Structure 1
Amino acid sequence: MTIRRMKYILAVAFSTFMMFFSNVSSAQEKHENGEGQHAVAAEKHGESHEEEKTGDVIIHHVLDSHEFHFFSYGDIHATLPLPIIIYSPERGLSVFSSARFEEGKEDYNGYRIVKEKIVPVDAAGNVDASVRAFDLSMTKNVVQMFIGIILLLVIMLSVAKKYKAQGAQSVPTGFQNAIEPVITFVRDDVAKPNLRERYQKYLPYLLTVFFFILINNILGLIPGSANVTGNIAFTLVLSVISLIVILISTDGHFWAHIFWPPNVPFLVKLILIPVELLGIFIKPAALMIRLFANMTAGHIVILSFVSLIFIFGKMNTGAGYGFSPVSLAFTIFIYVVEILVAFIQAFIFTNLTAVFIGQTFESGHGHDDKNGHHEEVFV
């Protein structure tokens, strides 16, 4: 809890600090350039462009895009372009590389990329509202998610193959030594305490969720990679799947307690029933927001510390070099914390999913004893 709170405080503090100084540096640069240079830029590109702020750069690296961007040095951009797949009822199917857009500076095949959204344009370069376009492209989040799926299958199938060849009671060797303790931990500390005798039924799902989130969390820490678990759409799908599993696990006893809580005054029931119904959807929503917020905050903090070097360097070269060791030290520290958070968030999502599933069982809602008293059982 202390590490998480510290990370939130650092995220807010340095994001605010970064936004303030980025405005200052942007204003200074616009003043130095002068009106004449802005006029030339406006004539070349058709409109005036403000200097990109540091905060915008950070958000750009956190969000999804149509290419993997590794680094930039002057006019050199080390990127891995991804395929653009656009279907339009009016224009048909278009498939080409995202490099055709040249970092958003050029239109291609009647399309333009604006803030990672592809819009149709006419021959004059204006947005064509009469053309419908459906973006089916492979963005970096999608590509990396498939990489995570492949890694998950390769790791688990290789471990299962060894167990099948050597027997389940054999001594683990090689990569089994790293995977087996994790599987045992999820089984003994997540599934069994929350699901009791039904844990074997849900253990495959819990293990899949845990390792899938963990692999994507770790992949997201590689420089130049995508922050998949920091994408709200990704966590939304995971939470919806968990909600479906939770609802499938319910029985008549569960819904009876939801719509008519026993041993509760009638007026209290009028308040409690809507709260219980909302709670069914609030619980998976909390899973979605928790994973998304934690993984996004960590990336923002790391990028903020790195950006501070360039912010101070923009104001004064000596200040930039002087602050570099401090910034790098904090960046390495937060990076190590993020590795720990990657495991913690995979565990929290899996554990809370097991808790919510366990609460749908009859034993999770209590039972009436022989004297008619309601006994609450906490799983």
Structure 2
Amino acid sequence: MKYPFHIWMWVCGLFLMALPLSASPESSPDPQAEELNVKEMILEHLADTYEWKITGWDNGHITVPLPVILHSKTSGWHLFLSSKLHNDENSFNGFYVTHEGKYKGKIVERDASGAEIRPFDLSLTKNAASLIFSSILLIILVMSVARSLRRNPMEGKKGFIGLMEMFIMSIHDDVIRPAVGKDHARYAPFLLTVFFFIFLNNLLGLVPVFPGGANVTGNIAVTMVLAISTLLVVNLTGTKEYYKEIFWPDVPKWLKVPVPLMPVIELVGVFTKPFALMIRLFANITGGHSTVMGLTAIVFVTASMGATINASMTALSVIFTVFIMLVELLVAFIQAYVFTMLSAVFIGMARVESHQKEKELVETKYKTINK
């Protein structure tokens, strides 16, 4: 338990030393400023950024500047910290973050005609930095658990090691083994990695302070990569019987020739299954974050309605926010569990054997039992 915690502290320290903190000034608050735009606040929280905000106040905020890597068609490659974009002109070498239009929140530059264009962007954003951090943290946690279990495999574990062992065995024995079947050991590393990766990032997304708070699993690009990984594992390791059921299913011939109606439906299903995984994870995590931010915004929205209304709504907001956060803890596990379970089910469906082989296997088992 202590070893992973100390390692975690070292990782945080190295991360902070590599990316120096910066205090970015903000314009002084305007007493005539418009009321809080809740929609913009929620979208800003969900969006990816070029810096990692730690805390803020009226006249500024403390952030971790992240590396910006750009390639412009006119000026070539550029490498600098995102803090360079926060100056009097809010630009650096002709690059700036636009706050409107189709490139809102992205770094752009202007071409010869004055139109905004996007350079080739390989910058390390907040979500990407959080992804690297969570991956390193996951490797450290899993390796420390594996080393402890290898040292004394027959000894009952307590604390964090025991909790991790319970999670691993529960997912392996109750999800992977029954869903995949006889080849479960072959796919267990992939499915366990998917489960703990999603679960850890879901939990880090609920932590409101650095290095948490990033919306990693609520990013459609991340869930798409996870879904594509499942798609590749399923279809690259599928059996002949699996592909026979796709291209020549056991249905009346008029449904296959001359119009390949059923094969087309089966082929579409190959892609809709991982697509459903992608949308389900993305939508549930994004919805949870939006709900929490919306409830928190009640405090600020009712600030101009008087002390009595604001105090009562603040208390109500805190109660509902705490309740939703507890629900989100459960959802963090459920979404990781569902993604892993469905991936295991899809893999098991792709490992189907022919009816003749299944009959021979049953007969072999029956003869073995009788002997």
With the shorter chain as reference, the TM-score category is: 0.7 to 0.9
1:76 deviates by 2.2
Structure 1: stretches of 5+ with no match in the other structure: 1-29, 38-49, 371-379
Structure 2: stretches of 5+ with no match in the other structure: 1-29, 99-103, 360-371
In 2 relative to 1, CA 246–103 (structure 1 residues): closer, same or farther, beyond 3 Å? farther
Pair 1:231 & 2:219 matched: yes
1:174 deviates by 4.2
1:63 to 35, 41, 47: 47
Pair 1:161 & 2:147 matched: yes
CA contact (8 A) 2:246 2:266 kept: yes
TM-score by length of 1: 0.78
How far apart, in 1, do the equivalents of 2:47 and 2:90 lie? 21
* Counterpart secondary structure, 1:85: strand
- Name the residue aligned to 2:338: 348
CA contact (8 A) 1:191 1:203 kept: yes
2:178 to 175, 185, 193: 193
In 2 relative to 1, CA 314–84 (structure 1 residues): closer, same or farther, beyond 3 Å? farther
Question: Residues 97-150 of structure 1, C-alpha deviation per residue, up to 9 Å, x if partnerless?
Answer: 2122229961111101113211113799x4465xx6211111010000011111
Structure 1 range deviating more: 207-216 or 112-121: 112-121
- Name the residue aligned to 1:377: none
Question: Residues 270-323 of structure 1, C-alpha deviation per residue, up to 9 Å, x if partnerless?
Answer: 432211111000000000000000000000000000001111113444322220
Q: CA RMSD in A?
A: 2.6
How far apart, in 2, do the equivalents of 1:326 and 1:104 lie? 41
Question: Residues 43-100 of structure 1, C-alpha deviation per residue, up to 9 Å, x if partnerless?
Answer: xxxxxxx877221111111111111224443222232222212122421222222122
* Counterpart secondary structure, 2:79: strand
Q: 1:80 is matched by which residue type in structure 2?
A: V
- Name the residue aligned to 1:121: 110
1:366 deviates by 5.6
How far apart, in 2, do the equivalents of 1:325 and 1:284 lie? 42
TM-score by length of 2: 0.79
- Identical counterparts, % of pairs: 39
Q: 2:312 is matched by which residue type in structure 1?
A: G
Q: 2:272 is matched by which residue type in structure 1?
A: I
How far apart, in 1, do the equivalents of 2:87 and 2:49 lie? 11
How far apart, in 1, do the equivalents of 2:321 and 2:87 lie? 28
How many residue pairs were aligned? 319
How far apart, in 2, do the equivalents of 1:298 and 1:128 lie? 34
Q: How does 1:141-180 map to 2 (within 5 A)?
A: 141-166=127-152, 168-180=153-165
In 2 relative to 1, CA 51–134 (structure 1 residues): closer, same or farther, beyond 3 Å? farther
In 2 relative to 1, CA 108–127 (structure 1 residues): closer, same or farther, beyond 3 Å? farther
How far apart, in 2, do the equivalents of 1:317 and 1:135 lie? 47
How far apart, in 2, do the equivalents of 1:104 and 1:300 lie? 33
- Name the residue aligned to 2:348: 358
- Where do 4+ consecutive residues of structure 1 move more than 4 Å? 126-129, 365-370
Structure 1 range deviating more: 275-284 or 76-85: 76-85
How far apart, in 2, do the equivalents of 1:254 and 1:207 lie? 24
